[in-house]
Amino acid sequence: MPVNKFTMKRTGLLLLLILAITACKKTPVVETGDLLLTIEYDGTAEENVEVWLFDSPAAFDKFEYLDYQLSDENGEVFFGNLLPGMYYYEAEITKPVSFHLYASDSTEVVANIQKNKRLILSIDK
């Protein structure tokens, strides 16, 4: 069966289209992880605790925080879509009876994993 010009052009366009699609630069997928903190004092979840997240010890020392949240009624704070690496966090609240609770810690966030950490507040001296 003879091949006509229309079939050749169609085949050529199809090959060109396939080549263009496969040659497109693909955007790399950035893998992230999550951090869930549960804030407690004296064995009880603490609501409305201020929590700051830092991405380096230097940022922690200078109080240049990456994110800030208040803990919810379950004492939880969720930081999502974090790049893998070390993160530092600080939490504090002043109770109505005039004492100040404080805690700080650090953890490593890994791609595609939610890290769950418990942060226990203590009386700040």
For residue 13, the model assigns a pLDDT of 72
Its domain, for residue 114, covers 33-123
Residues contacting 120, CB < 8 A, separation 6+: 40, 41, 103
Helix (H, G, I), strand (E, B) or coil at 49: coil
Residue 11 maps to a domain:
no
Residue 105 maps to a domain:
yes
Backbone dihedral angles phi then psi of residue 18, each to the nearest 5 degrees = -60, -45
pLDDT tens-digit series, residues 28-80: 888 999 999 999 999 999 999 999 999 999 999 999 999 999 999 999 999 99
Give how many domains the chain has, as a whole number.
1
Residue 85 maps to a domain:
yes
Please say whether the beta carbons of 123 and 101 come within 8 A: yes
Helix (H, G, I), strand (E, B) or coil at 21: helix
Residue 93 maps to a domain:
yes
